[in-house]
A and B are shown apart, each in its own frame.
Chain A
Amino acid sequence: MHALLVFCFLYLPIAALIVYSFNGAGVGGFPPRDLTLNWYRILFQDGAIWESVGNSLLVAGFAVVIALSFGIPAALALDRAQFPGKALFRRLVLLPLILPGIITGLSLLMLFNWAGTKLSLLTIVLGHGTALISVATTEVFAGLQKLDRAQEEASLDLGATYWQTFWRITLPNLRLSIIGAALLIFTLSMDEIAVSFFLIGRDNTLPLEIWGRLRRGITPEINAISTIIFVFSLTVIVIWYRLRARGEGSPEIAAELVETAAQGD
Chain B
Amino acid sequence: MFSRAYRIAITVPPLAWVTIFLLVPYLLMFCFSFWSVSSAQTIVHSWTLDNYKQLFTKDVYWETLLRSMWIAARVMVFSLALGYPLAYFLSFYAGKRKDLLYQMVIIPLWVSYLVRAYAWKTILGSDGVLNTLLQYVHLTRHPLDFLLYSPFAVVLTLTHIYTPFAFLPIYAALEHIPRNLVEASNDLGASPAQTFWRVIFPLSIPGVVAGATFAFVLSLGDFLAPLLLGGPSGIMISNIVVTLFGAAYNWPLGAAISLCMLVLVVSLLFLSERLEKKWNFS
Contacts and interface: CB of A to CB of B under 8 A. Distances in A.
Interface in A77-114: 77, 80-81, 83, 89, 92-93, 95-96, 98-103, 106-111, 114
A147 interface: no
A230 B238 contact: no
A98 B132 contact: no
Contacts of A30: 129, 132-133, 135-136
- Quick one: which of A70, A107, A130 has the most chain B CB within 10 A? A107
B112 A226 contact: yes
Contacts of A47: none
Interface stretch (B10-18, B47-55, B56-64, B188-196): B10-18
Given A95-B22, A126-B21, A234 B107 contact: yes
Interface string A105-136: 01111110010000000000010001001000
B147 to A, nearest CB: 12
A16 B160 contact: no
B165 interface: yes
A76 interface: yes
B3 interface: yes
Contacts of B40: none
B110 A237 contact: yes
A2 interface: yes
Contacts of A12: 123
Contact of A102 (B10, B122, B223, B273): B223
B7 A81 contact: yes
Contacts, number: 260
A92 B89 contact: no
B210 A226 contact: no
Contacts of B17: 70, 130, 133
A162 B119 contact: no
Query: Helix, strand, loop or mixed for chain B's interface?
Result: helix
Interface stretch (A38-46, A57-65, A173-181, A257-265): A257-265
Interface in B52-89: 82-83, 85-86, 89
B118 interface: yes
Interface string B162-182: 011100110110000000000
A249 B115 CA distance: 32
Given A74-B18, A255-B171, 16 more contacts: A2-B85, A13-B160, A16-B119, A20-B122, A73-B11, A92-B23, A100-B261, A102-B241, A103-B258, A107-B22, A108-B25, A110-B29, A211-B224, A255-B106, A258-B168, A258-B214
6 contacts: A17-B122, A83-B11, A102-B242, A207-B112, A211-B224, A237-B107
